[in-house]
Structure 1
Amino acid sequence: MLVHCKTGGVTLSVYGEQILSKIVDTGDVNAFTRFGIEREDFPTVGERQAYDFVQAYADTNRGKVPSYATLTAECPDITYIPGVTDDFSYLARGLKEAAARRMVLEKINGYVDEETGRKYESEFAAKFDELSAEDFGNYLRKMADGITMRTNVRNQKATDVKLDFEKFLTEYRARKSGESFRIWKSAFPYINTQIGGYFSSNLYTFYARSGRGKSVIVMVEALEAAIQGATVLVWALEMSAYEWLARAYSYLSAKSGVFNANFDGVDYEAGFDNKALLMGKLTEEHEANLVDWLRGLNEAVSGRIILRATDDADFRDKSVRQLEADILETGADVVVVDPIYYMDYEANTSKTAGGDAAATSKKLRLLAGRTKSVILVITQADENPSEKGDDGVRELKPPKRAEIKKTKTVLEDAANTFGIDTLAHEGRGVIELGKGRNGGEDARVEIVYLPNYGIVREIQSVEDAGKFASGF
């Protein structure tokens, strides 16, 4: 039975003394590391000193631990408890839960450091007085996150490659049945041929110079996933909701073949005129068609599309933490971040140039794995003054990875990267795979690019290719 006592209004437990005693009995000093047990987890000065002593003893004695007699002689302020049979994981969890409660009370009430005698006033009260209501709410969330991470119990068993094949087979069968793993097909068949589609738990990065269609291309990929049944979450960080919806409705209506259109002698299934939608200037006939088409949209798209846009009044927190909350709330399978550099970056703890963007990218990569979602991230490439030839004509030239302007880490963290370039006035474009963890590197997709009419697709016929006299 565990005995608890109260000291200074804070409930203390004997988990710390049990852990120290069990380590001495078993000789397993590595339990500190395996379960993430740190000095600050222990509630009393005596236990912290005992922790220091055991670690120092092991360091100078080839990993051996002191006997209980030596421990109690050197650390008289703790009680040795013989024969502790509880698992380390159980004891570590109890120790850390008590530490979490203690940390909360210290933040609220203030405390006196027993080792230094220094008095700390209430951080909670100080922040409450100095911060706005919104900033105080963010402070509380960060404090809670910090305490949760600080008190997390590490107990992850590593995989033995030769012996743990049953674990692999279990995951294989789950993936085969679609229970734990999904692949969302690209709108562009050649991308599916090269990389198989977009795999859950992965980050994918799209990049282009300003105004070259990266937002349109990624929107198309997201809408295609929704057509396949995915729940899609879009963070449109530089576009209004109406603008994004106008583009989406133009593309989806083209998929439905609302209109037939002829461009330079080639017939296409086209959608509502995007510019007319933006300006509210559809003809009366097309406006009536739009209303009828929108009423049937729910049947045409089997998945869901949840949009958060820059003009949403309540869209203030653009952190990775808020993105995770939105993913969990919506159950998103596919996530769009457009663009990453408008997110609230993580703290630059590395103190290096670009460290805040790099930390954000890494957290997004981990978030994709943790939520088993596909995250499509957009970033921007540097302008290239030598794009145009001597004749003043610009050629299609997707940027290389070295030309990324905002953060290069988002390329390193991605399973695949996609360089994009378009010539909207000629109705053509290129998507080039710049990195392929699962293949596809340097593959090139030639596309018809007429986004004003919702036509964004891979070249599919001789007629398509023949339209482009200037060639690819």
Structure 2
Amino acid sequence: MSVYEEQLLSKIVDTGDVKALTRFGIARTDFSTAGGRQAYDFVLAYADSNEGKVPSYATLTAECPDITYIPGVTDSFEYLTRGIKEAAARRMILEKVNGYVDVETGRKYESEFAQKFGEESPESFGNYLRELADSITMRTSVRNQMATDVKLDFEKFLTEYRARKSGESFRIWKSAFPYINTQIGGYFSSNMYTWYARSGRGKSAVVMVEALEAAIQGATVLVWPLEMARYEWLARAYSYLSAKAGVFNANFDGVDYEAGFDNKALLMGRLSEESEARLVEWLRGLNEAVAGRIILRAADDEDFRDKSVRQLEADILETGAEVVVVDPIYYMDYEANTSKTAGGDAAATSKKLRLLAGRTKSVIHVITQAEENPSEKGDDGVRELKPPKRAEIKKTKAVLEDAANTFGIDTLAHEGRGVIELGKGRNGGEDARIEIVYLPNYGIVREIQSVEDAGKFASGF
């Protein structure tokens, strides 16, 4: 048994502070010997039976003869805990690599490291090593942060308030759609936002617009378009950004718009010579037009095999991403379904994403799909705009509970119009409705801004 273990137990006896075991997250498996674990169990059992009191040193040593009582320990609980946990982490590594004999049962265990190395693929073995590293980090973590007292710890609040005021610890990224900003104030760092629509209704286009707008504001944006090729996403992005720059003027149904490069012509490589020359010239100035960065990991990237939350976190940390898009969540590598319930893997993944947003202080936009609605069309066969409700979310309903806001989308691309509807608002905005001009082939996806815009859709909205 290490001296740290004996010092810790002795200090608990001297101070009567049995709650230190819980407060600092000390587990029985952190003790290296059967005698140490016996003493751990005895101290807790004694406290449970004696109104939280601890045994005397005489009682402890009598009941647990393998323990040496050390009087007058002045080292802090935090210091002693760190010593115990660091030793436990080293022990865990050696056990994984060399195998071990259980100190309580005497049972022998073979090397897990050697077994994994021989049986797993290199990629799976790499994931195993990352999980092992995470376990070591957790094993050595010393919990010492006390809960916040609402009445007394106001200085913590004021410190964070001042940091947010100066933009040091908190950012708000404005939406491309002004009414969303009016309703919820924009997208707050450390939050997850969920977008949903039926298949083919523009959810990827709308969220792409939000990502590009954040980059224009100076954000580093990471996009995971998990069902879209790199060139396809870039063509859409360049079409939108060139429309923002007003590269072309176009007239649709009597309304003049600032438009971008024809998306279909970009996809097919069929721009006119004049438009192609304008494209080259415009792209050369793009770096100055977009203050932030846009990092893309697309579906056809050959090295993009790991689509787990763990890999997403690695990408966020590597790029310094402040705004993240996952499109769609159900194409990610889901977390293990430890709850053994239907949809438990999706729920676990959603929860991990929500925690990841908080841990990295990023905004994470998550896209999912809504159930098809066979009654969308009226008797005349005409479909009206009808954004899906929260109950219609498909596959991953957990993303509702984990999101700060949810957005239902519907569009009528052939009519050039669409709707975004807030389905849930932690900070307000629930049931707010944003009417948009939707002409994505020309990079035009924006809120209705003028009488002329509204006039075009007078019969539709």
Residue in 2 that maps onto 1:331: 320
Report what 1:362 is aligned to. Answer: 351
Distance 1:394 1:296 in 2: 42
Q: Unaligned 5+ residue runs, structure 1?
A: 1-11
Q: Does 1:41 align with 2:25?
A: no
1:142 to 110, 120, 131: 131
Question: TM-score with structure 1 length normalisation?
Answer: 0.96
Once the two structures are TM-superposed, the CA of residue 155 in structure 1 deviates from its matched residue by 1.3
Query: Aligned to 1:299, which of 277, 284, 288?
Result: 288
Query: Is residue 2:425 matched to residue 1:436?
Result: yes
For 1:23 and 1:113, the matched residues in 2 are separated by: 27
Map of 1:7 onto structure 2: none
| Counterpart check, 1:372 vs 2:361 | yes
**In structure 1, what residue type is equivalent to 2:96?**
K
Q: Tell me how far 1:370 sits from its aligned partner.
A: 0.9
Q: 1:78 is matched with which residue: 30, 52, 67?
A: 67
Q: Which residues in structure 2 correspond to 1:80-99 (within 5 Å)?
A: 80-99=69-88
Name the SS of the counterpart of 2:10 in structure 1. helix
Of the three residues 390, 403, 408, the one matched with 1:401 is 390
Secondary structure of the equivalent of 2:359?
helix
**Residues 37-436 of structure 1 correspond to what in structure 2 (within 5 A)?**
37-436=26-425
Give the aligned residue type for 1:92. T
Point out where structure 2 has 5 or more consecutive residues left out of the alignment: none
| Percent identical residues | 89
> Any idea what SS the aligned residue of 2:297 has?
strand
Cα deviation, residue 470, structure 1: 3.1
**Which amino acid in 2 is paired with 1:357?**
A
Check conservation: 2:420, 2:435, Cα contact below 8 A: yes
Looking at structure 2, the residues matched to 297 and 224 of structure 1 have their Cα atoms a distance apart, in angstroms, of 14
Matched, 1:462 2:451: yes
User: What are the superposed Cα offsets for residues 28-57 of structure 1, whole Å, 9 maximum, x if unpaired?
Assistant: 111111111001011111101100111111
Shift of 1:114: 2.1
What are the Cα deviations for residues 243-279 of structure 1, in whole angstroms up to 9, with x where unaligned? 1100000000000000000000000000001111111
State how far apart, in whole Å, the 1-side matches of 2:153 and 2:142 are. Answer: 23
Deviation, structure 1 residue 60: 1.1
The aligned length equals 461
Paired residue type of 1:378 = I
CA distance in 2 between counterparts of 1:278 and 1:214 reads 19
Task: Find the aligned partners of 1:209 and 1:266 in 2 and give their Cα distance.
Answer: 28
- Post-superposition Cα deviations, 1:332-352, rounded to whole Å, max 9, x if no partner, equal 110001111111111111111
* Cα distance in 2 for residues equivalent to 1:364 and 1:152: 22
Of residues 15, 24, 27, the one that matches 2:4 is 15
Which residue identity is paired with 2:208?
M
Distance in 1, matches of 2:126 and 2:365, equals: 29
Distance in 2, matches of 1:31 and 1:354, equals: 38
Secondary structure of the corresponding residue to residue 51 of structure 1: helix
Distance 1:116 1:165 in 2: 50
Distance 1:456 1:13 in 2: 65
For 2:366, the aligned partner's letter is V
Contact 2:88 2:139 in 1 (8 A): no
Rounded to whole Å, the distance in 1 between the matches of 2:56 and 2:337 is: 44
Amino acid at match of 1:351: K
With normalisation by structure 2, the TM-score equals 0.99
Displacement after TM superposition at 1:469 (Å) = 4.6
CA distance in 2, matches of 1:204, 1:78: 53
Which amino acid is the alignment partner of residue 280 of structure 2? V
Alignment partner of 1:445 out of 414, 428, 434: 434
Q: Displacement, 1:152?
A: 2.1
Which amino acid letter does the alignment assign opposite residue 29 of structure 2?
E
Q: Deviations over 1:299-358 (max 9, x none)?
A: 000000000011111111111111111111111110001111111111111111111111
For the aligned residues, what is the CA RMSD? Answer: 0.9
- SS of aligned partner of 1:470: coil
Alpha-carbon distance in structure 1 between the residues aligned to 2:428 and 2:171: 18
Query: In 2, Cα distance between the equivalents of 1:114 and 1:167?
Result: 44
In the alignment, the residues of structure 2 paired with residue 15 and residue 385 of structure 1 have an alpha-carbon distance, to the nearest angstrom, of 67
Structure 1 residue matching 2:113: 3-state secondary structure:
helix
Query: Higher mean Cα deviation, 139-148 or 401-410?
Result: 139-148
Code of the aligned partner of 1:426: E
Paired residue type of 1:38? A
Q: Deviations over 1:286-306 (max 9, x none)?
A: 111110000000000000000
What amino acid sits opposite 1:340 in the alignment? I
Deviation sequence 1:196-227 (CA, Å, 0-9, x none): 00001111000001111000000000000000
Q: Residue 376 of structure 1: SS of its match in structure 2?
A: strand
Q: Distance in 2 between matches of 1:157 and 1:90?
A: 16
Q: 1:5 is matched with which residue?
A: none
SS in structure 2 at match of 1:425: helix
| Range with bigger deviation, 254-263 or 359-368 | 359-368
Q: Distance in 1 between matches of 2:144 and 2:352?
A: 21
Distance in 2 separating the partners of 1:87 and 1:362: 35
Deviates more, 1:309-318 or 1:262-271: 309-318
What's the CA shift for 1:84? 1.0
Q: Deviations over 1:119-157 (max 9, x none)?
A: 000000011001111111111111211232233221112
